[in-house]
Structure 1
Amino acid sequence: MKTTGNKAAASVTMVALANIQPSSYNPRKNFDEEKLNELAESIRQQGVIQPIGIRPIDGSEKFEIIFGERRYRASVIAGLSEIPALVMNVSTATAKEMAITENLQRKDISPIEEAHAYQQLLDSGHHDTKSLAVQFGKNETYIRTRLKFNNLIPEFALMLENDELTISAASEICRYSESIQQDLYEKHFKNTAGYGTWRGMKASELAKNIEQHYTTDLMRFHFDKSKCLSCPHNTNNMELFCDGSCGSCANRSCLAERNTDFIVKKAVQILETNPTFSLGYNEFNCDETAVNRLAELDYELEKLSFSQKQYPQAPQQPQREEYETEEEFQQDIARYDQAVEQYAEQCKELVRKNEEGEISLYAQIGHYDITLCYTDVAKQGNTKNSEQLTEIQKLEKKDIRNKEIAHEKTVKDTKEQILNADITESKFGADEDKMMYFFLLSSLRKEHFSIVGIENDHSPYLTGEEKIQIIANLTPKAKAVIRRDFLIENFKTGYSDDAVAQLLIEFAKKHMPEELAEIKNTYDTEYEKRHQRIEEKKAVIKEHKEGKTTKSKADKVSKPKQPKEQEAAA
């Protein structure tokens, strides 16, 4: 049987299944076995209604499938020996595009298969999103949304493929980087139930949660954000509409680097224009990377406490366009000129005090910006006075800071590397046992401080140095007290029906059996009284129901039978 088709001058003919083989470029990779068997049964009853597309393989009598692999597989299952086929002499590139196009016209195509197919057509160089929208009868937004699914990590792609993730939820997730997606999956999607799972969450709620946990508001930062306006990691560029804010950044490494670069450059600029200022930082409120980078650039930095005072801020000059009348504008200009004079006098006085050694002027490095401040020399506890440090003292001070930086970096890298170290086979040593007690000591109650050698008038908190001294001289009694205080601290989270509460009761049975018995007896007695009242109410209800049932039966027995005519009339 031969007829002429309209696909690349193709002809329909019956071809032996033994001479046909699948191609490597078929975009469809998964075939549902159950549906294949259903199609095979239909083919046994009605035959193959629509021919498959094939092309000759050079140098052989065999053919390669362009489209229709599902029909081919079902025909093999049905036990056919041949199948109707459109034989087309086309290039590999053309065959590949035909296969993708045919695949996209399926009704059961999955979003992931659709995404891969559109991407392959774009990669061919013959299409753009506009031409794809025209060819497949979609709008460009639809095509772009499907293309973004190619950004999903395999775990989320599989969830979408298996209908465990909605298209709207996948559209929110695919906007973020691979690292964010991986963390999101491990923490909130890997487990199907339990605390912390975000499965089944509405797309709008999911979007809010991701933005809250995985992005940072750009309004906090003071660097030039003009490049951020068009950045794909800006959440404003992930939505069709935005609220007019700067947006939030989902690329935290880039954000941190830009912030550090801004702080370092501003610090250098301040020192160049204000040579009387020194660089300072508070170790609990600063960009540590910026501090280290400035130290590496040979700038001296001093640790500051919280006692510094804010340096006067220059007044802002009024702008004419912000005023309705010229009179109001001139009044504020006069006030501005007066404020400028006061500002200049304040600055002059602070410079004098700095020169005489009464105060120290600082450019303080913060998390997001640099602020000018000053501190009294006595309050800062600084030995610095009107006599300047010698060059040798400056070098020694710099050397101490360099050593601190080396130690800080060593700790930082060690924390990162220790997560990858395989230490599961090594024996738990005595030194590690002491380390455990160091952390357990955080739960030690103040009334037990004396047992570990701390005076009773001590504050309720132990310093790291004190903990080190304690674990170096642990006694068996101290170990028992520390461990039990740790247990008691964690028992505070116990509730009536959880495992922690069960362990709490077991602990109490061992250490305070009489007190536990008294507590239990009090509430058991209370329960028995309430239980008795409930049983009494239940008995009254049952008795009332049984009485009504007995009365109903008696009425039926005593009621005389009516003749059929009367019954019908009734």
Structure 2
Amino acid sequence: MDGIYIEPLQRYFEKYYTTDLGQYKFDKTECNTCVHNAANYNLFAEHNGCGHCTNRKCLEAKNAAHVAKETEKLLKSDPKLVVARPYYGSRNDMALQKLDKKGHEIKELDYNVSAREFPKAPEAPKKEQFTQTKEYEQAVQTFERRNEEYARKVEELDRMKEEGRIKTYVKVGQTEPELCYVEINRKETAPVTIGTLQERDKRFKQLSIEKTVADTKKIVRENDYPESSFTQYEDGMVYFAMLAQLQRRHFPLFGIKDQPFALDEKQRMKIVAKLTDTQKTVIKRDFISHFLCENGHGDNNASKLLRDFANMHFPDQYGLVKATHEEEYQKRHERLEERIKEMKKAEKKAAREAEKQQTTEKTEKKTTAPKTEKPESGKAA
């Protein structure tokens, strides 16, 4: 009974709740005495190899650290090597993240790019593994044939690499890094030089800044501001933003003449560094003017504020504009009032005529209606 139930339960436990440590390449000295190693507490008293790990998080961390370390060894062996992240196939994403954080270049391969693994050297047979001499000799012959094929493939790939027909990468596998190569169009191939590496460095710096800015936007948008006083530096930020709406006719006030386009960021930063009260006033009023002009429509609040703003600073011009349009409105209003008055008169007249017509019709009906004769009294019916 024990054998019937224990063995299936053991296989189920090891398959779904443990991981075979023998599949991993990292140093497992610590695992030999670890409490999470099933070999150290296996209730079924049987285990294979190094045992099975029940702490998957620890296992993945150790494995990723090992794979990343081995990958760095390969990269140091050839400065031109680059880590590749293939579109297809398994990869160790945790190890890739470690390499990315350390600043290693990671090439994203498109879905239509096939990354092929370099051939691996065949393993020579060991005589002690065979019981018969003939079997061992056959294994040696097979090994020699495969080793020759391996040497030919390596030689061919080296030649293709020198000719620029393939590009070599390091693929970060699940348990170890592997060299792989991609066939490329010779016309599109450019040799790796110090200049190209420096250009890559510039691009990586740019990407670093772009990613930092993107994450910073999330921080600013998603968090509440801590309670604190508004600083002078923040005040400068406000003016930097408002300067984007500075009118060109005010450029000379800031030492800028004959510039047909808006201020660029360098000019705005330079202006913000040294602002006078007069300049601050102009900047704020230009910003208010731009905002109210853009958002003032009909009789909304922005429109009312715009009119008040104009009346404060340009009372004569605003007064003339207002009077002109109000006078125009008044004339139209009076004409419409006259038309309304005439229409009301016509409606009343029509109503009286209709009423008169109804009265006449009623009178005519009474006049033309036939009279009924009453029978004489005393006569027989």
Give the TM-score category using the shorter length: 0.3 to 0.5
What is the TM-score of this pair, normalised by structure 2?
A: 0.46
What is the TM-score of this pair, normalised by structure 1?
A: 0.32
- The structure whose residues are more often helix, as a share, is 2
